[in-house]
């Protein structure tokens, strides 16, 4: 099986999933509800009550600080969609149909995760427009902003491989829904997405500082120019070098979980 054929097979599967997505636009609409609610709730309820280093309780500063965390939460929560989609395909026997075709085994999962990445990018675009209405601004150059969004999407893509493994490991789509989200909430909230790590209990600070979620959020925040004036990152390597740490975390997650997911798929379809 050549690399070119694997790419073609993955493209066919991705097209199939994208076609289904656009035929059911409610999926995208409902995927936007939660992040938009988070933007509004955190901006206008918690903004002004959470102290930031160098900015105090300035509500406008917190809105800019917040948005990278909301973006990261949105792209990683797409993991649940990957889990459910693959679990449904397994349950309905669609995976068995793919097995009967002369196609690369990994193409089914690669195509699915790529389609999820496209959907996530569309949601992120709409969410960024909503963020502009609540006061968020990009204060660095265009290339820096593109790099920030690129790191966010790369993290989201990496997490879809975790979702793929979960979807292959459970028996029903209902189980995939819970399994795809239950571990994401502590990962997102024990990070620097919504509050600085120094505001957390000492036991949680190392977890937040070495969290791949934190590295990506801080890197995006820096590239967007949304760090509070005079902000100094904690003296730990991932937060001192957030862009590099984010890139390394995402690539490591892709390598590990793609390998595990493809192996699980081969065993499940053997």
The three-point CA angle 166-78-70 to 5° equals: 135
Q: Cα dihedral sign for 199, 200, 202, 205?
A: negative
Better-predicted residue by pLDDT, 74 or 48? 74
Taking 80 as the threshold, does the pLDDT of residue 120 lie above it?
A: yes
| Long-range contacts of the stretch 205-208 (C-beta < 8 A, 24+) | 205/234, 206/236
Distance CA 75, CA 3 (A): 28
At residue 49 the predicted structure's pLDDT band, cuts being 50, 70 and 90, is low
Q: What pTM did the predictor assign?
A: 0.89
Q: What is the DSSP string of 143-159?
A: HHHHHHHHHHHHHHHHH
Whether the Cβ atoms of residue 197 and residue 208 lie closer than 8 Å to each other: yes
Distance CA 83, CA 170 (A): 9
At residue 242 the predicted structure's pLDDT band, cuts being 50, 70 and 90, is very high
User: Could you tell me the residue ranges of all domains in the chain?
Assistant: 3-268
Q: What is each CA distance from 257 to 162, 253, 263, in whole angstroms?
A: 6, 6, 10
DSSP conformational letter for 101? S
Distance CA 253, CA 163 (A): 12
**Residue 147, pLDDT score:** 96
Residue 37: other Cβ atoms inside 10 A:
10
Taking 90 as the threshold, does the pLDDT of residue 136 lie above it?
A: no
The pLDDT of 118-125, averaged and rounded, is: 89
Whether the Cβ atoms of residue 74 and residue 32 lie closer than 8 Å to each other: no
Nearest-CA neighbor of 227 among 192, 202, 201, 188?
A: 192
């Amino acid at each position: 099986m050549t690399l070119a054929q694997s790419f073609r097979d993955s493209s066919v599967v991705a097209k199939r999933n994208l076609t289904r997505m656009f035929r059911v636009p409610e999926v995208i609409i409902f995927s936007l509800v939660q992040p938009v609610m988070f933007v509004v709730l955190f901006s206008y309820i918690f903004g002004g009550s959470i102290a930031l280093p160098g900015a105090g309780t300035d509500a406008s500063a917190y809105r800019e600080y917040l948005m990278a965390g909301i973006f990261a939460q949105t792209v990683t929560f797409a993991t649940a969609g990957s889990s459910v989609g693959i679990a449904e395909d397994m349950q309905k026997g669609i995976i068995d149909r793919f097995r009967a075709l002369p196609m690369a085994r990994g193409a089914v999962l690669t195509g699915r995760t790529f389609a999820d990445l496209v959907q996530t990018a569309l949601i992120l675009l709409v969410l960024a427009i909503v963020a502009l209405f609540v006061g968020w601004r990009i204060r660095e150059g265009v290339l820096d902003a593109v790099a920030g969004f690129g790191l966010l999407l790369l993290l989201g893509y990496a997490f879809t491989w975790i979702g793929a493994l979960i979807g292959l490991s459970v028996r029903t789509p209902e189980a995939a829904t819970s399994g795809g989200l239950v571990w994401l909430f502590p990962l997102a909230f024990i990070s620097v997405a919504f509050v600085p790590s120094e505001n957390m209990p000492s036991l949680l600070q190392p977890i937040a500082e070495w969290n791949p979620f934190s590295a990506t959020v801080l890197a995006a925040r820096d590239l967007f120019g949304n760090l509070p004036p005079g902000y100094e990152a904690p003296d730990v390597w991932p937060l001192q070098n957030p862009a590099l740490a984010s890139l390394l975390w995402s690539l490591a997650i892709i390598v590990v979980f793609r390998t595990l997911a493809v192996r699980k798929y081969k065993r499940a379809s053997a």
